[in-house]
A and B are shown apart, each in its own frame.
Chain A
Amino acid sequence: MSSDTSVLDVSHLDAGYGELQVLSDVDLRVDPGEYVAVVGPNGAGKSTAMKAVFGLADRLDGSITFEGTDITALPPEAVIREGMSYVPQSGNVFPSLTVAENLRLGAYILDDPPEERREAVFERFPVLAERLDESAGTLSGGQQQMLAMGCALVLDPELLLLDEPSAGLAPDLVDEMFDRIDAINEGGTAVLMVEQNAKEALRRCDRGYVLAQGENRYEGSGDDLLDDEEVRRQFLGG
Chain B
Amino acid sequence: MGLAQNVVFGLVTGSYIAIAAIGFTLIYGIVNMINFAYGEFITIGAFVGILASGTLSLPLPIAALVAMVGGGLVSLVLARGFFTPINHTGPVPLLLTSIGLGLALRNAVRLVAGRGARYFDTSATTYRFEGLPDLPVGSVDLLGNLFVTSLQLVVVGSAVAVFLLLYTLLTRTDVGIAMRALADDEDLARVRGIDTQRVRDSVWMLAGVLAGLAGVLIGIQTNVSAGIGFSFVLQILAAAILGGAGSPYGAIAGSYVIGLVLALSTAFLPSGMTGISSAIAFLVLVIVLLVKPSGIAGREVREA
Contacts and interface: CB of A to CB of B under 8 A. Distances in A.
Interface of A: 54-56, 75-77, 80-81, 86, 88, 91-97, 101, 104-106, 108-109, 151
Contacts of A106: 192
B118 interface: no
A122 B193 CA distance: 22
A94 B191 contact: no
A108 B187 contact: no
A56 B193 contact: no
B184 to A, nearest CB: 4
B115 interface: no
A56 B190 contact: yes
Contacts of A92: 188
Interface of B is mostly: helix
Interface of A is mostly: loop
Interface in B179-219: 180-181, 183-185, 187-196
A96 B184 contact: yes
Contacts of A81: 193
Contacts of B171: 101
A75 to B, nearest CB: 7
22 contacts: A56-B187, A56-B190, A75-B190, A76-B193, A77-B190, A77-B194, A77-B196, A81-B193, A88-B187, A88-B191, A91-B187, A94-B181, A97-B177, A97-B181, A97-B184, A104-B177, A105-B189, A105-B192, A105-B194, A108-B178, A108-B192, A108-B193
Interface in B240-291: none
A109 B198 CA distance: 14
B180 A80 contact: no
Contacts of B130: none
A154 B276 CA distance: 57
